[in-house]
Chains A and B, each alone.
Chain A
Amino acid sequence: MLTEAWNFPKSFTFLLLKLQRASAKHNNTNLVLYRMSHKIINPSTSVAPANAAGSTGYDYTIGPQQTLPNTSAQSVASTLAGTRSVYHESLHPGAHGSHVSVAAYAFLFQEMVSQARNASKTVSEIELRLHRHGYHIGLRLLELLKFRSSVTPGSGRSFFHKAGGPAAATAGDAASGAGNASGAVGASGASSLGNAQDESLASNITTMKRRDLRLLEVLQFVHGPVWRYLFDRASDDLVKSSERENEYMIIDNTPSITRFISSTNVQCDFFVCGIIEGVLDLASFPCTVTAHSVPEDKFNRRVVFVIRFDQEVLEREALRF
Chain B
Amino acid sequence: MAIQTILVINKSGGLVYQRDFIKTGAKLSSNEYLILAGTLQGVVAIASQVTPKALQISAKTGSKTANEPSQLIPYVGSLGAPAQNLSDMGSFMGQDFFNESFPSWNQSGLKHVTTDQLSMFLYQTLTGLKFVAISTQSTTNAMAVSIAENLLRKAYCLYADYVMKNPFHDPEMPIKCELFDTHLAELVGQL
Contacts and interface: CB of A to CB of B under 8 A. Distances in A.
CB atoms of A and B under 8 A apart anywhere in the complex?
yes
B166 interface: yes
Interface string A168-180: 0000000000000
Contact of A113 (B167, B177, B179): B167
Contacts of B116: none
Contacts of A298: 87
A264 interface: yes
B177 A262 contact: yes
B120 to A, nearest CB: 28
- Could you say which interface size class chain B belongs to? 10 to 19
B178 A262 contact: yes
Interface string A95-116: 0000001110011011111100
A110 B166 contact: yes
Contacts of B164: 107, 110
Most B CB contacts (10 A, CB to CB) among A114, A117, A260 go to A260
B75 interface: no
A232 to B, nearest CB: 13
Contact of A114 (B167, B176, B178, B179): B167
B156 interface: no
Contacts of A114: 167
B33 interface: no
B90 interface: yes
A259 interface: yes
Contacts of B165: 103, 106-107, 110, 260-261
Interface in B133-180: 160-162, 164-168, 176-180
Contacts of A109: 167
Interface of A: 101-103, 106-107, 109-114, 117, 259-264, 266, 268, 298
23 contacts: A101-B91, A102-B91, A103-B161, A107-B164, A110-B164, A110-B165, A110-B166, A110-B167, A112-B167, A117-B167, A259-B88, A259-B90, A260-B90, A260-B91, A260-B166, A260-B179, A261-B165, A262-B168, A262-B177, A262-B179, A263-B178, A264-B168, A268-B167
Given A102-B90, A110-B166, A263-B178, 18 more contacts: A106-B161, A106-B165, A110-B164, A110-B165, A110-B167, A112-B167, A113-B167, A260-B91, A260-B161, A260-B162, A260-B165, A261-B165, A261-B166, A261-B168, A262-B177, A262-B179, A266-B168, A268-B167
